[in-house]
Amino acid sequence: MQLKSITYKVGQLLYDAKIYDGMNTDMSDLEFYKKWLSPDNNAKILELCCGTGRLTIPLAKANLNITGLDITETMLTEAKKKAKEAQLDIDFKLGDMRDFQLDDQFDIIFIPFNSIHHLYSNSDLFKTFQSVKKHLKENGIFIFDCFNPNIQFIAESGTHLKEISNYQTDDGRVIKIKEIMTYESDSQINRIDWHYYINGQFDSVQNLDMRMYFPQELDAYLNWNGFRIAHKFGNFKEEKFTKDSDKQIFVCKLKNH
Ligand SMILES: C[S@@+](CC[C@H](N)C(=O)[O-])C[C@H]1O[C@@H](n2cnc3c(N)ncnc32)[C@H](O)[C@@H]1O
């Protein structure tokens, strides 16, 4: 069946690098990634959707050999600036996780911070899995995290605007964000509207559309695409995935490895 529309949008302010960094200061995933990405320090690592380097920079500081790839040029510009300031030599690539060619293979590829929710159709997800496979060494590891969709939460968040963030950016803007969401049950896209107020003035409504991935479908999709799930955690403390888990965190190998 062809869905009538998988049109989607991510508003520009979402990935305005300074606004992004001011909001995303929670680093509770760093220790988890540090542990899983360091089986030995010579491992070649690729981070897909590296953004402004929130994880890339501290991981490179921990001596990991990491390359970052992202589709948004302004996010990469900020990542490169931070790397330069920290005197780190990180290879940042502009590219699309669905279809990239790096002429290289990696020991570990990871997609952190819920970024697969930007893959809106199964075909985009499968293209990404195939691109990962192409760039993964035989014994390689593929790791990613995303939400465990909470339909009750989404339904309750569709009734009224709720303030979710209030902070000042590095470049001096005071940002307030209010959120409301609507779940579209044919495409499985959660249409999230963020209402931005900058320096006390309403600025705009920005879309943050997120494709929801249900646990059983993700398990099956990984299997169909040639991956074996070595671990599935429900949070970054590595507790087992259960019905109450907020997150789905996958550590995968290629099948037969
Ligand atoms: C939630 S942010 C995560 C950024 C960073 N990994 C972090 O932990 O802060 C999602 C990132 O995915 C990038 N992105 C979205 N679609 C992409 C695609 N098809 N290919 C590569 N990057 C993409 C965005 O530009 C954005 O930087």
pLDDT tens column, 200-219? 999 999 999 999 999 999 99
Around 159, how many Cα atoms within 13 Å sit in the side-chain half-sphere? Answer: 4
Structural domain includes residue 189: no
Residue with tokens 């005071």: 174
Q: CA 238: distance to chain centroid?
A: 18
Any domain includes 198: no
| CA dist., res. 34 & res. 19, Å (int) | 25
Tell me the pLDDT tens digit for each residue of 62-107.
Answer: 999 999 999 999 999 999 999 999 999 999 999 999 999 999 999 9
Return all residues near 86 (Cβ < 8 A) that are at least 6 apart. 57, 60, 61
For residue 255, the tally of other CB atoms under 10 A from its CB is 11
Residue 85 CB neighbours (<10 A): 9
Distance from C-alpha of 235 to C-alpha of 48, rounded to nearest angstrom: 20
Please give the tally of structural domains in the chain: 1
- Residue 2 CA to ligand 1 center (angstroms) comes to 27
239, part of any domain:
yes
What does the pLDDT profile of the chain (257 residues) look like in tens digits? 444 455 666 778 888 899 999 999 989 999 999 999 987 778 999 999 999 999 999 999 999 999 999 999 999 999 999 999 999 999 999 999 999 999 999 999 999 999 999 999 999 999 999 999 999 999 999 999 999 999 898 888 888 899 999 999 999 999 999 999 999 999 999 999 999 999 999 999 999 999 999 999 999 999 999 999 999 999 999 999 999 999 999 999 999 88
How do the residues of the chain divide into helix, strand and coil, expressed in percent and rounded to 5?
30, 35, 40
Alpha carbon of 72 to ligand 1 centroid (Å): 7
- Which protein residue has the closest C-alpha to ligand 1 atom 11? 49
User: Closest ligand 1 atom, CA of 10?
Assistant: 15
Task: Give Cα separations from 77 to 56, 141, 145, 254 (angstroms).
Answer: 13, 28, 24, 33
CATH, residue 52: 3.40.50.150
- Position 75 in a domain: yes
| Ligand 1 atom nearest to CA at 128 | 19
| Calpha distance 237→146 (Å, rounded) | 15
Which residues does ligand 1 sit against, CB inside 6 Å? 15, 24, 49-51, 54-55, 70-72, 75, 96-98, 112-115, 118
Q: Is 179 part of a structural domain of the chain?
A: no
CA–CA separation, 140 and 218 (whole Å): 20
Expressed as residue numbers, the domain containing 30 is 25-148+215-254
User: Do the domain assignments include residue 93?
Assistant: yes
C-alpha to C-alpha distance for 97 and 120, rounded to whole angstroms: 13
User: Could you tell me the distance, in angstroms and rounded to a whole number, from the CA of residue 256 to the centre of ligand 1?
Assistant: 30
Using the mean position of ligand 1's atoms as its centre, give its distance from the Cα of residue 94 in Å. Answer: 11
